[in-house]
Amino acid sequence: MATNDMRLLQIAHFADMIKWSAQGSAFGNVKSKFPLVPLSVVLRRIKEPITIEDGVLYKRITIRNNGRGVVQRDELLGSEIGTKRQFVAHAGQFIISRIDARNGAFGIVPEELEGAVVTNDFWLFEVQNALPEYLMLVLSSKRFQQYWQTQSSGTTNRQRVSESDFLHSRIALSNIDIQKKLIEGYTNKTRVACSFDAQAQKILDDLNDYLFEELGIKEQCKNADMQLINYTSFSRLYQWGVDKHNIAFPYMFAKYSPFSFANKPTWVNALLRGKSPRYSSNATCIVLNQKCNRVDSIDLTFAKKVAADWLDQIDKDHLTKENDILINSTGEGTIGRASLVRKEFAGLAYDSHMLLLRVNATELDAQLVVDLLNSPFGRKQVELYKSAQATKQTELGIENAKRFLFPMPDISEQKRISAQVNEMKKESTRLRDDAKSLRQQASNEFEASVFSAEY
């Protein structure tokens, strides 16, 4: 099987793995069309010890949870590695993290990690009497995970699996020809799913190109406007710092004149900072934080509980309203991220690490503003205008947010552009959903072929 097909199998469907616990049904009750054999029949532990030498460069391995692959952790000189007795890994070996196996931390060592080193917390096995791809699919099946619920030990969140328990675990083992057939059926579907994901991503990439084309946003040459001496009008100063004023703006505008919220005040009905909350674990009220604010979506699972009397003190006009815009004002990697408040998220409080922008709907289309803020155009402006406070916490304050430039046509044209962007997003989402459904179908069909019982 081609290497790309093997990787499809490695990353396919670990996200739905059931975490180990001291409870669960025994795998021994499962009926299979194939013989149930202990893992020791298909896995042989390989130990190739090595003594780490100070002057030698070593690749180290990490196994991503949820089946996201066996990848290089880093590459270090031996002098930087504390544990001197380690083990050599070879391409094609099955590897499992005894600490995080319950989270899907196992896979096949790829070619690029041939000769990498691991500690004894990673076990390496030679696969025999089975295809590695088949083994991966069986081990990641829901039925096998239910069995492993009974195999965990330890009292912490990072429970180590016993090697003896692991190798005595039984799997359904078909002959090689049937394994190949099952893998082929699974891989064909997951390959199509990957193509759907690629199409979905291309639509999102094209979305930004469409926005830039419709609004006439063009990137400037990096060396444009470079001068020995640069001047800045005092009236334009929002904060001190050469880096905030003498760097050329990276975009030019070919269709519409750009305006900021500062020099186009009629665009804005309100620009507010959230309040510092008073948390209460026993409360029923919630407050939004920057983790809740995804890319144009709001996830309440990250919201925290606050005291009702604290919430009662907040002016109702300060709470979210439909078509408001929430912008993260702090957080490396999340600062500037924006989402539109839809009807179901109206009436919520938000903490002091978020800004709320309430635009004038007769002049600005709020969804288009959100799309621009989340685009490379918006992210670049965040980098230009954010500031670092004494605490070294990167901050996007209200005054800096007012500096964002937007080249906007009249409101009817804005709505036309926004509607087209929305259709592109829907198509991308549809493809993502189709990919997810196809992967689930591939998983279900594989398990139905291996196990005779329904579940």
3-class SS letters over 144-185: HHHHHCCCCCCCCCCCCCCHHHHHHCEEECCCHHHHHHHHHH
pLDDT at 155: 44
Please say whether the dihedral angle defined by the alpha carbons of residues 295, 376, 353 and 362, taken in this order, is positive or negative: negative
Radius of gyration of the chain measured on its C-alpha atoms: 27
DSSP 276: P
Q: Is the pTM of this model over 0.85?
A: no
Element (H, E) at 37: strand 36-38
Residue-level pLDDT at 233 = 52
| Rounded Cα gap, residues 22 and 232, in angstroms | 67
Euclidean distance between CA atoms 21 and 255, whole angstroms = 60
Domains of the chain: 3-195+436-450 (3.90.220.20), 219-254+256-408 (3.90.220.20)
Residues of the chain with pLDDT below 70 are 1-31, 66-67, 145-160, 221-248, 388-393, 452-455
The pLDDT of residue 80 is 96
Joined tokens for residue 113: 């990690």
pLDDT of 165: 79
pLDDT at 18: 32
Cross-strand partners of 57: 77
- Are 143 and 30 a contacting pair, CB within 8 Å? yes
Cα separation, 426 vs 296, whole angstroms: 13
For CA atoms 415, 417, 418, 419, the dihedral sign is positive
Alpha carbon distance 232, 218 (integer Å): 23
Residue 147: the pLDDT is: 63
Q: Are 108 and 92 in contact (CB under 8 A)?
A: yes
pLDDT digit string (tens) for 132-175? 999 988 888 877 766 665 554 444 455 567 788 788 888 889 99
Could you tell me which residues come within 8 angstroms of residue 222 by beta carbon, excluding any fewer than 6 positions away? 250
Dist CA 204 CA 198 (whole Å)? 10
DSSP structure class, residue 337: -
Sign for the CA dihedral angle at 112, 113, 114, 116 comes to positive
What pLDDT is attached to residue 237? 42
